[in-house]
Chains A and B, each alone.
Chain A
Amino acid sequence: MALLVGACSSSGEAAPPVAAPSTAAFAGPDAEVASKAALAAYNGYLGATRDASVDPDPTHPALRKYLADPLLTRVRDTVRDLETHGVVRTGKMVSDPRVSALDLTANPPTVSIQDCIDSSGYKMVYAKSKKPVPGAAGGRYVATATATLYPDGRWLISDGAVHQDQPC
């Protein structure tokens, strides 16, 4: 059973927040708890990715706290790539995530998250020269992610992608 909570919002048009009354009609406490936990994991994931990329460290412990495979390995790989190339991330991403679907009866249960990430202030620069990496200008694109419930009770982000063909 997959519940569609909110559709893709174009920029500037705010979808109702997860805890809004309109969703409470069908969202039992479980759905609300799951949504909150999934969004918390998602925010943790963005933060952990940023922390691991400021001074690139693919083994950064925060990654394991919010991410699960295969995304964990993909992000570690990405961070190692920064490290290998002497590139760091500076600045911030602007994020506005919301739950787009819940599948709490699946095994394992999942929550789908949709975001519009603005990475124009999240620069990729060479650590030594501080010069921006050519072609690495950010933008505002739709991002999607999946939070998965693990046996130990944690919601972790197991998949995530930015869709560069979908500006928002």
Chain B
Amino acid sequence: MLTRRILALAAAFVVLAAPAMAVAAPPIGECPPGSDNCHIIDEDPGDPGDGGNDGGNDGGGDGGGGERVCTRGGEPIACYDPIYGWFNQDDECYYKLAEPQLPPPDGASPDGGWYVPSCAGGIGEPDWFDAPPAGAEPPPDPETLARRALATITLSPPDLQIRPDPSGAGLVGLPVWLWVEKGPETWGPSSASAEERGLSVEITASVSNLTFDLGDGGPPINCPGGGTPYPKGATGPSPDCGYAFTKSSRQQPGQKFTITATTTWTVEWTSSSGATGTIGPETREATVGVRINELQVVTE
């Protein structure tokens, strides 16, 4: 095979012609736009392929092919290809779930799916299968992929800020401002993706709630917006996330109240199969100690 037409470029026009025109392949090929030279790259270094779907050099076959041996025309071939999917020995075609899925045809079992066949002759129009084609293995679980993607990003504790400055002291009854500085790692949104065997999952993690526990025994306060940074010189209370202690911190360990900020992260995922879901909630905490004095020790 000295002059070998490039893999699917050549293969594609054969099938491309069929659905549109319902006639045999035209005398001159059609190729996908962006690759309008149907047969280029004549030399084919180190590719012992069969001129068709030679997927073996892309790490295929490691997706759980196990003991299974796949052959096309008697030649060994990968049982799984990252682009074509699983090999069906019966018809020597690969099948992968079409992305995205169209609704099932009338009367079809909703458990089935549209599969794209990749055969020696090229990549065909999707076919409906009530059950996965022979050789197919269950698709990866999108939630597992979502968790894998989540493991690649950092959900950091909140970047807790308060006024009065923790190095100083506050006073009973005077405004305490509470807020967090927002960055992708401490507040989101933070995105990541993971892909396996043609299924990809994208996650977006963002903080959906923020609470402050003031450490004085009272109920925590909710600040879903993250609070408002203290503008220098402000004398009033925070517009959305403030507090005023009603007692001093003298009785507390270290004579300080321990303020705990807790961010609640919501992780939403969407998969290329159309499935969506959420993981979590996950929470992260940061603490700071603040000294609150009685009013009578005011020194000004």
Contact = CB atoms under 8 A, between A and B. Distances in A.
B107 interface: no
Interface of B: 6-9, 12-13, 15-17, 19-20, 26-42, 44-45, 47, 57-58, 82-84, 96, 98-103, 114, 116, 118, 123-126, 193, 195, 200, 272, 274
A69 B36 contact: no
Interface of A: 45-46, 49-50, 53, 58-59, 61, 64, 68-78, 80-81, 84-85, 87, 89, 93, 107-108, 115, 117, 119, 122, 124, 133-139, 141, 143-145, 148, 150-152, 154, 156, 159-165
B31 A162 contact: yes
Q: Which of A69, A71, A87, A159 gathers the greatest number of chain B CB atoms within 10 Å?
A: A69
Given A78-B9, A164-B31, 17 more contacts: A69-B116, A70-B15, A70-B126, A73-B96, A73-B116, A74-B8, A77-B7, A77-B12, A77-B83, A78-B34, A85-B41, A119-B36, A135-B40, A151-B102, A156-B100, A161-B33, A162-B36
A80 B13 CA distance: 17
Contacts of B30: 161-164
A161 B98 CA distance: 19
Given A81-B6, A144-B20, A164-B28, A50 B34 contact: yes
Contacts of A163: 26, 28, 30
Q: Which of A73, A144, A162, A165 gathers the greatest number of chain B CB atoms within 10 Å?
A: A73
Nearest to A72: B99
B36 A117 contact: yes
A75 B32 contact: yes
The interface residues of chain A, by DSSP majority, are classed as mixed
A77 B116 CA distance: 13
B28 A162 contact: no
A49 B96 contact: no
Contacts of B7: 77, 81
A81 B34 contact: no
Given A77-B7, A81-B7, A143 B47 contact: no
B255 to A, nearest CB: 54
B36 A138 contact: yes
Contact of A165 (B26, B126, B272): B26
Contacts of B96: 73
B36 A77 contact: no
A101 to B, nearest CB: 12
B123 A70 contact: yes
A69 B29 contact: no
B125 A164 contact: no
Contacts of A80: 58, 83
A48 to B, nearest CB: 9
Nearest to A149: B102
8 tightest Cβ-Cβ pairs between the two chains A and B: A165-B28, A161-B30, A162-B36, A49-B34, A77-B8, A69-B98, A136-B40, A78-B35
B80 to A, nearest CB: 14
B7 to A, nearest CB: 5
A75 B36 contact: no
A46 B294 CA distance: 69
A71 B13 CA distance: 11
B200 A64 contact: yes
Contact of B34 (A46, A139, A164): A46
B201 to A, nearest CB: 12
Given A77-B12, A77-B83, A85-B44, A150 B100 contact: yes
A160 B29 CA distance: 13
A61 B33 CA distance: 18
A161 B32 contact: yes
A89 B32 CA distance: 14
